[in-house]
């Protein structure tokens, strides 16, 4: 399992149910990385998608304890146990955690890689991703060149989980 996220300098990921910044190349990168794959998200992340529509050409799985929520277009898992049972159907390399904050926090220990778009700016954020630079479990293995969109600099980086293999040995 992998995760993909865009963060600001404080590892903020969202505010008021919205992304902090929309960068076209980041959106294209997200699509390229997740197309044809399985995406896992929480209910609030699903509800923030345009038209509350599942992401096209992907298997959409929602992790939500809200028993009243139903949607025939997504697979809904009510617990981590149910989620892991559902994920047995898929190659773990084809599974991407896409948010939000609670889902990232719950599933990050099970991820082998995290693809981060680091935005060189700070925003008001009410949702955050764990700071991988301060977590010895994670090692930065690649960082792309700084790019610019509307005077905002960003880069694509990749982290690997040094411990996830130990959990399953």
Query: Per residue in 70-81, pLDDT tens?
Result: 888 999 999 999
Q: How far apart are CA 91 and CA 95, in angstroms?
A: 7
Place of tokens 């969109």: 149
Total residue length of the chain: 169
Q: How far apart are CA 65 and CA 49, in angstroms?
A: 19
Q: How far apart are CA 166 and CA 75, in angstroms?
A: 30
Does residue 150 contact residue 41 with C-beta atoms inside 8 Å?
no
Domain 2-167 coded CATH 3.40.430.10: yes
pLDDT tens per residue, range 123-147: 999 999 999 999 999 999 999 999 9
| Low-confidence residues in the chain, pLDDT < 70 | 164-169
The pTM assigned to this predicted structure is 0.93
Per-domain residue ranges for the chain? 2-167
């Amino acid at each position: 399992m992998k995760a993909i996220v865009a963060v600001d300098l404080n590892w903020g990921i969202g505010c008021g149910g919205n992304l902090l910044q929309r960068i076209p190349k980041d959106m294209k990168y997200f699509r390229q990385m997740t197309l044809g794959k399985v995406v896992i998200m929480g209910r609030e992340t699903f509800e923030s998608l345009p038209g509350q529509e599942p992401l096209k050409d992907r298997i959409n799985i929602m992790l939500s304890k809200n028993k009243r929520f139903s949607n025939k277009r997504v697979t809904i898992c009510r617990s981590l146990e149910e989620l892991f049972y559902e994920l047995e159907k898929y190659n773990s390399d084809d599974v991407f955690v896409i948010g939000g904050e609670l889902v990232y926090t719950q599933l990050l220990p099970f991820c082998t890689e995290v693809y981060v778009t680091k935005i060189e700016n700070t925003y008001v954020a009410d949702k955050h991703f764990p700071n991988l630079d301060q977590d010895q479990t994670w090692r930065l293995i690649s960082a792309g060149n700084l790019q610019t969109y509307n005077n905002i600099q960003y880069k694509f980086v990749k982290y690997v989980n040094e411990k996830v293999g130990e959990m399953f040995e």
